[in-house]
Structure 1
Amino acid sequence: MLNTTQTRTTFKWGKGAALALALTFGMALAGCGNNAGSNAAANAAAASNGGNNASSNTAAASASASTDTDSSSNTTAASTDKKLTVYSAGPEGLATKLIEGYEAKTGVKVEMFQGTTGKILARMEAEKSNPVADVVILASLPSAQGLKDEGLTLPYPEAVNADKLNPDWSDADGNYFSTSASALGIAYNTKLVKTPPTSWEDLTKPEFKDQVNIPDPSLSGSALDFMTGYLSVKGDSGWSLFENFKKNGVAMAGANQEALDPVITGAKGVVAAAVDYMTYSSKAKGEPVDIVYPKDGTVISPRPAAILKSTQHEANAKAFIDYLLSDEAQKMVTDAYLLPGRTDIKADNRANLDEIPQFKVDWDYMNKNGADITEKFTQMFK
C-alpha cells in the first residue's frame, strides 16, 4: 500500500494534448480515482482497459542488491523500499522486458499499468487526489510537455546518458526523457496495394476510396502528434487534407492497433498516420504489410519517460530512468523496431532517423492546440 501521507497533486490540464487525451477516458475511469494501492490500481485498470490490458509484471527478479550498479550503464543505486509503479504506453512486450531488466539490476519490484497515452493520462486525472504512478512513459511528446507545464514532473538533469539523447525530443532540465520514438507513415497491405502511395495527398485519390483507416487522436498520442504536427507546418490550410480524407471515405478506427488490424487481414488497404514499429513488427511475423514515409515529410513521435513529483520512491524512479537510457535498454528498444532515443545508437531492422523525410514541426503549437484539434478532427470523422 502507498503511504497515506503521499503528496496530493492537483491536475490542471490546459488546452494542450494532455487534456485532449485525458478527457476521453476521465469519466470512464473516475470510479478508480481514489485508489490508494498500486496493485488495486493496476487491477482496476485491467477491467476498464479492454484490449489494452493492464498488467502487473510478475517477473521474479532478485538478482542484485539495492546497492549494486550496472557496469555498462552506471544505473543509480535503488533505495531499500524496493517498490516502483510505472504507467507505460507502447509495446507491451518491450515494456515487460524493460521492467524485467530493471528488476534484475536493482531488486526493485515494479507494478505496471499498460495502456495508451490517453488511458494513462485519464488514469492520472482520476487519481489526482491520491497519485499512484512514480514514472510514466507516454507515446506523445506534447503530453509530457503538458505534465511539465503543470509542475507535475520531478527534474532529473543528472540522469546517466541523458547527454546522448536527441536534444529535440527531451527536456534540457531533465523533466522528461524520450528514450525511444516512432515515425508516422502509410502502412499498406502488400497484396491489395501494388503501387504504394508516396504522399499524404495520394490517399485522396479514387483508387483509395473507402480503403483507408486513420487512428483516433483521442485514443492515440502518436496520431495526435501527426495531426498537430502536420497543422503546425501547414497552418489552417492543412485541414483541407483531412477534409479530403473524409470525402474519400477514410475511417477513424480506434487506437493504432485497431486501425492496423483490418489492413493486416485485408479488410482495408491502408492506414494513414500508422505507427511504424507496429508495421515492422507485423511484417517480421510474415504478415502482408509494409510502410512508406511520404516524400513530402512526416512527424516523428518521441516516447518520453518522466518521474512524477508525487513519487514516494524517488531513488528507484531515478534508477529506472538511468536503466531506460542504458545500452541494454536501448538495445531492447531497437529490437522492438522503435527508433532509439540515444543518438549514438542505430537500429539495423528498420529505417533510421536520417532516412525518414521529416516535417519541421512546432512542438509548442502542438502542445497548446492538441485539445482543439482533437475535438475538430473527431467531430469531422464521426
Structure 2
Amino acid sequence: MTKGLKNSALMLLTAMVGFGVTGCGTAAPTAGTPNNGAAPKTEPATATTEVKPADKKEEKKLSGKLVVYSAGPKELAEAIQKGYETKTGVKIEMFQGTTGKVLSRMEAEKANPVVDVVILASLPATQGLKKNGLTLEYKDAKNADKLIPEWSDKDGHFFGYSASALGIGYNTKLVPTPPKEWADLTKEEWKGKVNIPDPALSGSALDFVTGYLSGKGDSGWELLEQYKKNGVAMAGANQEALDPVITGAKSIVVAGVDYLTYQAKAKGEPIDMIYPASGTVISPRPASIIKTSKNPDAAKAYIDYLLSDEAQAMIADTYLLPGRKDIKAKNRPGVDQIPQMKIDWTWMDTNGDAVTKKFTQLFK
C-alpha cells in the first residue's frame, strides 16, 4: 500500500540563534593622567546583564501549526493533542482514521504533501514509509533510549511509542469456555460465529496475518482457508469486527486488538480476551516525521511529547501497551505476560501488499 508513494522533496526550516555578551566593568585611569596614589574613580554600573557562555544555545521557540495523521485511538489522540498544544502553543490539525485510510490519504496528497507526523497501527507499514524515503531522521528524541528497541528504528526514522496485542476476543455470556488456540476456531461449534478484521483497513490485523504467515510459510494459509470454510466473516476494521461480539450478534473476534476489548470490558460489556499459548503478534504503533514537513521543529517536539512521562501515562490509561520499558501497562497483561510467536518483520513488510490482496480475495 505504501509502495505507490514516491520520494518527496525535503523542506526543512532552520533557525539561526545569535548570542550577545554584555557586561559592566571598572573604568581605568586615562593614559597620561596622574593618579597621585589615589584609588581610581569608577563609573557607576547602570545595568546588570547575565553573561551567557558563547557556546550555549537557546531552545528554539515553536510556532505555527502541526498536521498529524493518526491511526487512533480517538480518545488518546485527542488527549495527546491537548497536552501537546498546552505545552508548546503549537496548534494541531488532526486527521484520524485506520492505517489504511491514513495511507490512502497520503497517497492522494503525494503531489502536494501536507502532513508533518504520521502514526500508524502497523510496524511494517511504517517501515515502508522509511524504505520509500518519506521519513525524516530524528536521532535526539528525548526518552528514545527507554523505548522497547524492537518497536523502533535504530536510525530515528520512527518510534514505537505504544502497541497492542492480537488475540481472541469473546462474548462471556455466549462463550463460557473460550477456545484456547487459533486452530480451535475451525471447529464446527464456531461455524458462522466468528469475525476477523479486514487487514486492508486494520494495520494490526495485517500484522497478525503477515506475522503468522512469516513463521508458518505457505502452510499458514491452510488455517485461513479453514476459517473461511467455517464461516469466519471479514468485518471491517477493528471496532466494526468487535461490535457484533459485544452485542451478541457474533460470539468471537479473532485477531482482534486487545485494548478495544479491555476498554469495553471496563465499561461493563460482556467481553474478554485470551492469547493462545502458541503465541500471538504484538503490533507496535510507530510515529514518524515526514521528510516534507513544513514545521520539523514542532514535529520533533511532538515525538518528544509522545515519549514523555505524561503521554506514556495516557497510553497506559487507554489500555494500550506503553512503548517505554519503564512504564507499566495498566489493568491488562504486560508485554512479558503475552506469549509471542516468532515473526519476521522484514518479510511482513515485503509481502504485506500480496498478503492483503490474497486475503481479501479469499474472504470476499
Per the normalisation by structure 1, the TM-score is 0.80
Superposition RMSD on alpha carbons, in Å?
A: 1.3
In 1, Cα distance between the equivalents of 2:61 and 2:233?
49
Aligned to 1:83: 65
Quickly say closer, same or farther: Cα 1:350–1:92, change in 2 above 3 A: same
Aligned to 1:98: 80
Aligned to 1:161: 143
Aligned to 1:208: 190
User: Could you tell me how far 1:348 is from its partner in structure 2?
Assistant: 2.7
Aligned to 1:281: 263
Structure 1 residue aligned with 2:113, among 93, 112, 131? 131
Trace 1:115-264 onto structure 2 (pairs within 5 A): 115-264=97-246
In 1, Cα distance between the equivalents of 2:153 and 2:111?
26
Aligned to 1:62: none
Quickly say closer, same or farther: Cα 1:373–1:168, change in 2 above 3 A: same
Partner SS, residue 151 of structure 1 = coil
User: Could you tell me how far 1:80 is from its partner in structure 2?
Assistant: 3.9
TM-superposition CA deviations, 1:161-190 (whole Å, max 9, x none): 001111101000000001000000000000
User: Could you tell me how far 1:360 is from its partner in structure 2?
Assistant: 1.7
* Percent pairwise identity: 68
Partner SS, residue 297 of structure 1 = coil
Kindly indicate whether residue 252 of structure 2 is the aligned counterpart of residue 265 of structure 1.
no
Kindly indicate whether residue 293 of structure 2 is the aligned counterpart of residue 307 of structure 1.
no
User: Could you tell me how far 1:225 is from its partner in structure 2?
Assistant: 0.3
TM-superposition CA deviations, 1:5-63 (whole Å, max 9, x none): xxxxxxx943xxxx6xx9xxxxxxxxxxxxxxxxxxxxxxxxxxxxxxxxxxxxxxxxx
1:79 and 1:316 in contact (8 A); partners too? no
* Paired residues, number: 312
Aligned to 2:306: 324
1:78 and 1:106 in contact (8 A); partners too? no
Kindly indicate whether residue 355 of structure 2 is the aligned counterpart of residue 373 of structure 1.
yes
TM-superposition CA deviations, 1:324-371 (whole Å, max 9, x none): 000000000000000000011111311000000001210000000001
User: Could you tell me how far 1:82 is from its partner in structure 2?
Assistant: 2.6
User: Could you tell me how far 1:78 is from its partner in structure 2?
Assistant: 6.0
In 1, Cα distance between the equivalents of 2:138 and 2:282?
24
Quickly say closer, same or farther: Cα 1:269–1:77, change in 2 above 3 A: farther
Letter in 1 for 2:147: L
Partner SS, residue 255 of structure 2 = strand
Aligned to 1:342: 324
1:77 and 1:319 in contact (8 A); partners too? no
Q: Please say which structure displays the higher CA radius of gyration.
A: 2
Structure 2 gaps, min length 5: 6-57
Quickly say closer, same or farther: Cα 1:99–1:208, change in 2 above 3 A: same
In 1, Cα distance between the equivalents of 2:80 and 2:63?
20
In 1, Cα distance between the equivalents of 2:271 and 2:332?
14
User: Could you tell me how far 1:278 is from its partner in structure 2?
Assistant: 0.2
Q: Which has the higher helix share?
A: 1
Partner SS, residue 168 of structure 1 = helix
Letter in 1 for 2:86: A
2:2 and 2:125 in contact (8 A); partners too? no
TM-superposition CA deviations, 1:101-128 (whole Å, max 9, x none): 0001101111000100100000000000
In 2, Cα distance between the equivalents of 1:99 and 1:158?
22
Aligned to 2:18: none
User: Could you tell me how far 1:230 is from its partner in structure 2?
Assistant: 0.2
Letter in 1 for 2:203: G
TM-superposition CA deviations, 1:293-344 (whole Å, max 9, x none): 0111000100000000000101100000000000000000000000000011
